[in-house]
Amino acid sequence: MSALSARTMVGVELLRHPRPWTGFGAGTVLVLLVVATLGPFRDSLPAAVPAVVLVLPVVVAGLIGGRLAAVAVAVEGALALALVFLGAGAALGVSVEEDLAALIVFLVVAVVVGGLVGTVATADRQRAAAEAARVVALQELDEARSGLLRSVSHDLRTPLAVIQAVATDLRSGTAYDDATRDELLGLVGTEAERLDRIVANLLSLSRIEAGTLQPDRQAVDLGELVTSSAERMERVLEGLAVTLEVAPDLPLVPADYSQVDQVVTNLLENAARHSTPGAPIEVTVAERETALVVTVADHGPGIPADRRDEVFEPFRSGGPGSGSGVGLAICRAIVEAHGGTISAGDAPGGGAAVRFSLPLHR
């Protein structure tokens, strides 16, 4: 969250809740001010005048502090009216019964008016807080989408630049031996596959946001799927010591083959991105009670403990060079759509290990 958003959220919390002690204090000060101003003229004032004026502190207390502050100040106003102003009623020919009636009427009116003002003010305050929170959420979403656009633009430019450079070089008529030509064409194929993965992630993200990500389950050999994904990612994993350990006789799992393949591909690409040349990447597939568990571990910088949940949120990334920040969010959405779980932790010997499970039964 940006500093501006954080300050705005503090303001939202202040708007959301009334401040009863502040309201009570302001109302008390106003009651004292009314007494100090009108008190010297109590012998010549009708009781209705201070009664009407003493409703004002109740209204102010309700606006600032809510209903309870308004009721408390209403009681203070009633005491001030009784002790300071109604005692002088005899000089104007007012009976004790009339004073008592005026006091009761004032107290009832002040409590009702103060309560209504406090309720309305609280409702308005909550509406303002909700609107401010909505603005903050939209601002953060805009910032996240802008960050995603920048990251995706960079991710798209890199493979496109490679493809364009190779195509230009091949079209220039430079004579290459067969091995070099095959290597260049293989590079084009690799970058085209990378573009395809980026586009697939963006399409999956749009389906997740639209709530239309539904697995088309079939019986899947998860060990074969992981092996096939690793072989297809051979160029991405080139230069890394990849080990694949698949437990024997694994049962089939009900899953959407293409979606789970996307999860494994994203995890392998993520591990390759954070690994140094020659570093090991361990991939294991095992059965744990009523689920199959896939673990992809690298020996890169790892994921800080306080960010292990955050990296699975949309538009978040693991740091510089981490890509667009949607891959792990898509992994979580797909795994959870299958009824499974996904988490990040430490790899043995240092680094990050991302583990997801798929239930054996729907």
Contact between 279 and 262 (Cβ < 8 Å):
no
Q: Which of 20-29, 123-132, 223-232, 250-259 has the least mean pLDDT?
A: 123-132
Amino acid at 347: A
Within a domain: 319? yes
pLDDT grade, residue 2 (50/70/90)? Answer: very low
Average pLDDT on 260-268 reads 91
Report the pLDDT value the prediction gives residue 93, as an integer from 0 to 100. 43
Report the pLDDT value the prediction gives residue 98, as an integer from 0 to 100. 63
8 has pLDDT over 60: no
Report the pLDDT value the prediction gives residue 320, as an integer from 0 to 100. 45
**Taking Cα atoms as reference points, which of 263, 259, 256 lies closest to residue 356?**
263
Question: Is the same domain home to 295 and 337?
Answer: yes
110 has pLDDT over 60: yes
Residue 336, CB-side half-sphere exposure with 13 Å CA sphere: 12
17 has pLDDT over 90: no
Average pLDDT on 65-90 reads 78
Question: Is the same domain home to 223 and 346?
Answer: yes
Q: Average pLDDT, whole number, for the chain?
A: 80
Question: Is the same domain home to 346 and 238?
Answer: yes
- The last residue of a domain, from among 170, 192, 210: 210
Amino acid at 206: S
Question: Is the same domain home to 206 and 269?
Answer: no
Most confident option among 68-72, 295-299, 358-362: 295-299
Question: Is the same domain home to 67 and 133?
Answer: yes
**Taking Cα atoms as reference points, which of 283, 285, 287, 311 lies closest to residue 297?**
283
Within a domain: 271? yes
Within a domain: 147? no
C-alpha torsion sign, points 250, 256, 257, 263: negative
Q: Per the structure, how many domains does the chain have?
A: 3
Report the pLDDT value the prediction gives residue 91, as an integer from 0 to 100. 42
Residue 134: strand, helix, or coil: helix
Report the pLDDT value the prediction gives residue 7, as an integer from 0 to 100. 47
What is the per-residue pLDDT across 310-340, written as a single tens digit (0 to 9) for each?
888 766 554 444 445 578 888 998 999 999 9
What is the per-residue pLDDT across 148-165, written as a single tens digit (0 to 9) for each?
566 566 667 777 877 888
User: Rounded to an integer, what distance in angstroms lies between the CA atom of residue 349 and that of residue 258?
Assistant: 32
Token pair 């409703």 is found at 55
Burial of 231 (0-12, 13-18, 19+ CB in 10 A): exposed
Average pLDDT on 340-355 reads 90
Q: Which tokens belong to 300?
A: 């890169």
Q: Which tokens belong to 277?
A: 């040349």
CATH number at residue 301: 3.30.565.10
Within a domain: 50? yes
What is the per-residue pLDDT across 204-221, written as a single tens digit (0 to 9) for each?
777 777 777 788 899 999
Q: Say what percent of the chain tops pLDDT 90.
A: 19
Within a domain: 254? yes
201 has pLDDT over 60: yes
What is the per-residue pLDDT across 112-132, written as a single tens digit (0 to 9) for each?
877 777 777 777 777 877 787
Question: Is the same domain home to 235 and 345?
Answer: yes
Average pLDDT on 16-23 reads 75
Q: Which DSSP letter does residue 305 get?
A: G
Contact between 111 and 77 (Cβ < 8 Å):
no
Give the domain extent around 204. 155-210
Contact between 69 and 62 (Cβ < 8 Å):
yes
Q: Which of 4-18, 272-286, 345-359 has the least mean pLDDT?
A: 4-18
Q: Which of 60-74, 96-110, 113-127 has the least mean pLDDT?
A: 96-110
Report the pLDDT value the prediction gives residue 248, as an integer from 0 to 100. 92
226 has pLDDT over 80: yes
Better-predicted residue by pLDDT, 11 or 186: 186
pLDDT grade, residue 10 (50/70/90)? Answer: very low
Better-predicted residue by pLDDT, 144 or 274: 274
Report the pLDDT value the prediction gives residue 343, as an integer from 0 to 100. 93
Question: Is the same domain home to 176 and 265?
Answer: no
Within a domain: 148? no
| Contacts of residue 217, Cβ cutoff 8 Å, sequence gap at least 6 | 254, 255, 256, 338, 362
Within a domain: 145? no
Residue 221: strand, helix, or coil: coil
Question: Is the same domain home to 260 and 352?
Answer: yes
Give the C-alpha distances (Å, rounded to integers) separating 261 from 62, 185, 269, 298, 356. Answer: 60, 25, 12, 19, 13
- The last residue of a domain, from among 137, 167, 190: 137
Q: At what angle do helices 257-274 and 222-232 cross, to 10 degrees?
A: 50
Within a domain: 182? yes
